[in-house]
Chains A and B, each alone.
Chain A
Amino acid sequence: MVSLSVSIQTEDFDIGQEHQALRAQDERVGAVCSFLGTVRSQSDGQAVSAMALEHYPGMTEKAIMAMLNQAQDKFDIHAARVIHRIGDLMPGDQIVWVGVTSAHRGQSFQACEFLIDYLKTQAPFWKKEQTPNGARWVDARVSDDDALARWGIELPRQAG
């Protein structure tokens, strides 16, 4: 049985507790891999004093559960969880956490990287940064699309 879960929340989270909970009562687990994303104080050469994260309620949870299901199909993992914060954040704050367990390290390392690559390009979140020159929406990076392409996933063709 694979335990998959997603949480979209304004509150902060404790990665120690999350690590413990992810492998609790599952003695098949021999490896836990996780990724933590945080708010930087610099972006594209400008100071960032705060960040606001917008999302699409409903679609966000669906998109992340779809990617968790893909990770379960692709890799031999026992549990996977994604936490993503929304709302107002400050430099140094935790934004996103991805945790995966497996019997051996290879599968959880790969699944963790796959999940964050997928989330970056497919989950409907948008960052707006406060800079000395005013607020600005963060532009999507082509390198993020390239990162996802490594996993053999084609992006839907869109207008524009």
Chain B
Amino acid sequence: MKIHLRYFASVREAIGSGQETVQTQAAQVGQLRLELMKISPQHAEALALHKAVRAALNQVACTEDTALSDGDEVAFFPPVTGG
């Protein structure tokens, strides 16, 4: 299935792009993260498991256990620092 990806802040800078679309069989957000880490050394660094990376599914905060569907928008980003 097709997943639209969005990256923000330090994750976006490390990957070198703010968005991309991938074909995946990953069932959950955590599995998708592991798959993305294989795309390039930059992806592996940006999404490394020792880093605090947050995720959102279709613009709502989610967890690594959240299930994926075809056409979903998934975002990865560092902990937020607004306000």
Which of A's residues lie within 8 Å of B, judged by CB?
A: 37, 53-56, 58-59, 62-63, 84, 95-96, 116, 119-128, 137-140, 156-160
Which of B's residues lie within 8 Å of A, judged by CB?
A: 6, 8-10, 30, 33, 49-56, 59-64, 75, 77-83
**A92 CA / B27 CA spacing, docked (Å):** 47
Contacts A54-B8, A56-B8, A62-B59 given; does A160 touch B82 at CB 8 Å: no
Q: Are A126 and B30 in contact (CB under 8 A)?
A: no
Q: Are A159 and B82 in contact (CB under 8 A)?
A: no
* A-B CB contact pairs (8 Å), 9 listed: A84-B82, A119-B82, A121-B79, A124-B80, A126-B10, A126-B80, A137-B10, A157-B64, A158-B54
Closest B-chain residue to A57, C-beta based? Answer: B59
The listed residue (B53, B59, B62, B82) touching A126 by CB distance below 8 A is B82
Q: Are B81 and A140 in contact (CB under 8 A)?
A: yes
Closest A-chain residue to B49, C-beta based? Answer: A160
Closest A-chain residue to B75, C-beta based? Answer: A56
Shortest distance from the beta carbon of B80 to any chain A beta carbon, whole Å: 5
Q: Are A125 and B75 in contact (CB under 8 A)?
A: no
Please give, as numbers and ranges, the residues of chain A lying within 8 Å of B10 by CB-CB distance.
126, 137
